[in-house]
Amino acid sequence: MPTSLAHHYHQALRDQDILNQLSSHYPDGPTLHQLAPLDQLHIGGIAASKRLLDLLDQSAPMALDIGAGLGGLMRQGAALGFHLTGLDITHRFNVLNQAISELAMTQPPNDSSAGTLRCVTGDACALPFSDASFDAVLFQHSLMNMPDPARVLAECRRVLRPGGQLVMHEVVSGPHCEALRFPVPWAEGPTHSHLLTLAALTQRLQTAGFDIRHCEDWSDTALEWRQRQRQKEQAAHATVLSPQWVFGERFVQMGKNLLENLANGAINVVEISARC
C-alpha cells in the first residue's frame, strides 16, 4: 500500500526540472505566491492554507503537517512564525520540499520571527515522534489517502500535547458520492481514495478524543475557486509552474474530473478545528 501510493504521486514528478525552473526564473528566490501553482495543489490554493493557519493558536508554534507534499502549507506557516515538521510517505516529495525551501528562504537566518522547517518520510499510521511533542497537527487533503483513519487519529492524539489542536482542510464524500469520477489528484482510482462522509469524520474525531470547535462546509467557495483555476489551465500561454510538473499530462483529466466532482456533489470540502 505505501509504496504504490507513493508511486502515484512521484511517477511523473519532474524533480530536477522544477529546481532548474525555479533557479532560472526566480534567481532571488521564489515567493509563496510564485510557488503556489506547484506546492499548493489542494482545492482553494494559498487562500485555503491561510484560512487553515488562521485557526492555529499563535502561542503554540510546534506543528506537524501530515501529508505535507511539496511544502506549500509548511512554508506559509513558517512565514507566520510556526515551527513546522512535514511528514509525507513520498520520499521524493520530501527531498524536493527541502530543496524548494532552501531556494525560497529569503529571510536572514537570525530572524527570530521566522519559523523552522524539517521534513520526515513516514507513515501516519505509525508517527515517528514522541508522545506529546506537538502543539498542533494539520491535515490538508491528506486523510483521504489513508485507509485506517481511526489509527491515524489515535496517533495524532498521542503526539499532541494536552489541549493541542487538530485542524483539517479535507475532501469528504458528498451527497452524490456514487458519481465520483477518477482520476483525481489524490488517486488514479478507488484503491487510494478513502473519503469519509462529514458525519463519519466527526464521529471518528470524537472517538479519538477530540472536541470539535469549528466545522464549516465551504464547498460552494471551493467550486468557484476550481472553476477559476480551470479557466487558467485552459489558457494557451505557457506558465512558469503548474500542477503538470508534479502529475504530468494526467492532470488535464484530473483537473476536469475535480471540477465535475465538486459540481455534481460527489465530493465536498470542509474545514475543521478540534482540540484534545
- Residue 72 placed within a domain: yes
Kindly give the interhelix angle for 72-79 and 32-39, rounded to the nearest 10 degrees: 150
Q: What is the mean pLDDT of the chain?
A: 94
State the CB neighbour count (10 A cutoff) for residue 160: 24
The DSSP element (H or E) to which 36 belongs, if any, is helix 32-39
The pLDDT, as a whole number, for residue 164 is 97
- Residue 260 placed within a domain: no
- Residue 160 placed within a domain: yes
The pLDDT, as a whole number, for residue 112 is 56
Q: What is the CATH number of the domain that holds 108?
A: 3.40.50.150
- Residue 102 placed within a domain: yes
Q: What is the mean pLDDT of residues 97-109?
A: 80
| DSSP structure string for 173-194 | E-TTGGG--S-BTTBSSGGG--
Do residues 89 and 5 lie in contact, with contact meaning Cβ atoms separated by under 8 Å?
yes
- DSSP code of 119? E
The model's pTM is 0.95
The pLDDT, as a whole number, for residue 238 is 74
Domain range enclosing 51: 5-173+186-219+268-275
**Radius of gyration of the chain from Cα atoms?**
18
Is 70 exceeded by the pLDDT of residue 108? no
The pLDDT, as a whole number, for residue 107 is 47
Q: Positive or negative CA dihedral for 63, 66, 71, 73?
A: negative
- How buried is residue 136: exposed, middle or buried, by Cβ count under 10 Å (0-12/13-18/19+)? buried
The total number of structural domains in the chain stands at 1
Please tell me the distance from the alpha carbon of residue 39 to that of residue 197, in angstroms, as a whole number. Answer: 26
Q: Compare 145 and 239 and report the one with higher pLDDT.
A: 145
The DSSP element (H or E) to which 201 belongs, if any, is helix 198-207
Q: What is the mean pLDDT of residues 125-138?
A: 98
- Residue 144 placed within a domain: yes
Q: Please, which pLDDT band fits residue 106 given cuts at 50, 70 and 90?
A: low
Q: Compare 235 and 173 and report the one with higher pLDDT.
A: 173
C-alpha closest to that of 255 among 218, 219, 237, 228: 228
pLDDT tens digits, one per residue of 4-58: 899 999 999 999 999 999 999 999 999 999 999 999 999 999 999 999 999 999 8
The pLDDT, as a whole number, for residue 234 is 82
Q: What is the mean pLDDT of residues 193-199?
A: 98
Distance from the Cα of residue 2 to its chain's centroid: 17
C-alpha closest to that of 115 among 155, 70, 65: 65
- Residue 230 placed within a domain: no
Is 70 exceeded by the pLDDT of residue 111? no
- DSSP code of 125? G
- Residue 20 placed within a domain: yes
- Residue 237 placed within a domain: no
The 83-88 sheet, strands edge to edge = 117-121, 83-88, 62-66, 134-140, 160-173, 267-275, 211-217
Q: What is the mean pLDDT of residues 67-87?
A: 97
Q: Please, which pLDDT band fits residue 236 given cuts at 50, 70 and 90?
A: low
Residue 176, all three cell numbers: 452524490
